[in-house]
Amino acid sequence: MNPSQQIQVPGYRIERVLGKGGMATVYLATQMSLGRPVALKVLHDPDTPQFFERFFNEGRCIARLNHSNLVSIYDIGQGEGFYYIAMEFLPGGDLKSRIAQGIKPSQALKILVRLAGCLAYVHGEGVVHRDIKPSNILFGTDGTPVLTDFGIAKLIQADNDLTVTGTVMGSPHYLSPELAQGNRRVDGRSDLYSLGIIFYEMLTGRKPYTADSFAATLMAHIQKPLPKLPEQYASLQPILDKLLAKKPEDRFQSGAELLMNLQPLRNKKRLLLDPQDTENPTSETRSMEVAASPSKSYRWLIYPALGGFLLLSWFGFRQMTNAPDSSPTAEASNQAEASTQMAIVAPASMAEQEAPSAPISETATELEPEEVAKPTVDADTEETTSAVSPKTDLNNLLAKAQQRFAADKLSYPSSDSARFYYQAILQQEPGHPEATKGLDKIANRYADLAQIQINNGRTLKARRYLNQGLEIRPKSRRLIRMMNLLNRPVKPKSSADIFDRLAPENDR
């Protein structure tokens, strides 16, 4: 019998099988009410109560989390002899396949950053994934990595354990030493260890610890020395060593701490070049080089792409308020809350990382890719900006800026907008009072636009406007306050939000 004909789920049309696992079969299905594709995960006749509990634990766990790098849950229910979860369909394949094909080091680092920010948020919500591995990291159509499969996730404060008695749950090649030893009380540092294993595999194409048997692989995590990266990645070795430390207390204590320690790498030239790219760097790597050594006239405007990406992943950590006080995650969250009130939002996609950003000391958030403005300064902006001659009349630039602002052309087109002209003025005359006030007005206008969307229940569009404003004024208390309110636990997205996701706009 065709697997797609084995079940009938009310409200869904089964299209085909996407994959099978130890617990369930995943189908591509169409949600009839909205006409959208979904991934339908179906558990058939669970053999033990533990597997049933694990299955519904996954749905409950993800449904209460809200992050752009986490899979979205649409529905959960029970049919005749089976249980199901309907979730976001991610057609971009998984990280396991991408590793097999080969990943550029620059992309590996971007994926690491996005997942570190994601885990900072997840752990702050009191959840440990416990099964981080490449096949559980899928990609959206825009290349955004998305963490899935929370089947054996555990609440940090929970006393119950969902493992089957006498077994070790998880994938042996990615298990932390404490999980390999059967320690049931693990925290977010276990997930960071697994992330370190994945980072090594992305850079080298191989797993650091392998053996002939399940048990021997577990022992390798516990006993074997830390793996060494190839010489060309020596600058990343300290990061890897701290991710893969045998003792949890010797690792990064949170995803946020990992992001902070990645920050110095933003000043490294050619750090992330593939060997074959050294003589003929791509536009992406050329942009990174320019960012690493900006000219005096552009230094205020251009920050390294990597540094920008790191800080833009950071603000999600501000949401960490639900972890137990005794955990390292909670301590880091409290420190972050006490030390800063800053907020900046994350980049539009994995391919758009050359955007300018504020220093790493400011806090940032990960937002969904369609919620983010297109960067004003990218690989091509250097030419655009240079088109404005140093001798260009400032009054002419100011007049153009005011005209564009009046027409609500705040940031787009990127080379003919109010923001562009105000920044061109400041490039020639830093501290120019009217240009400075002009950027303040643009940021406030974005706040006004965001408030309108919030009042209409369109939070995705509101986030886009807040993001654009925070790019200009990252310390704006009004924008920060509005973003913090949006980042609180929310109700399921409205139909208007769904429309915004399918048809994002960038018109201001």
Q: Which residues are annotated binding-site positions for ATP?
A: 41
**Amino acid identity at 295:** S
Alpha-carbon gap, residue 83 to 96, rounded angstroms: 27
Binding residues: 41
Residues 6+ apart with CB under 8 A from 260: 360
| CA 421 distance to own-chain centroid | 31
List the catalytic residue out of 131, 187, 191, 497.
131
Write the CB contacts of 119 (distance below 8 Å, at least 6 apart in sequence). Answer: 129, 132, 147, 188, 191, 192, 195, 255
d(CA 346, CA 368): 8
Distance CA 86, CA 330 (A): 31
Q: How far apart are CA 319 and CA 366, in angstroms?
A: 11
The residues pairing with 247 across neighbouring beta strands, listed in sequence order, are none
Contacts by 296-304, CB closer than 8 A, 24 or more apart: 297/390, 297/427, 298/382, 298/385, 298/427, 300/426, 300/427, 300/430, 301/356, 301/377, 301/385, 301/423, 301/427, 302/356, 302/377, 302/382, 303/266, 303/356, 303/357, 303/358, 303/359, 304/266, 304/267
Q: Which residues contact 310 (CB under 8 A, 6 or more apart)?
A: 113, 259, 262, 263, 266, 360
Give the residue carrying structure tokens 């009349």: 393
Neighbours of 272 (CB within 10 A): 25
Length of the chain counted residue by residue: 508
Q: Return the biggest CA–CA distance within the chain.
A: 77
Q: For residue 131, indicate whether it is catalytic.
A: yes
Nearest C-alpha neighbor of 329 from the set 60, 116, 174, 121: 121
Q: How far apart are the first and last CA of the chain?
A: 53
Which has the closest alpha carbon to 199: 265, 288, 124? 265
Catalytic residue list: 131
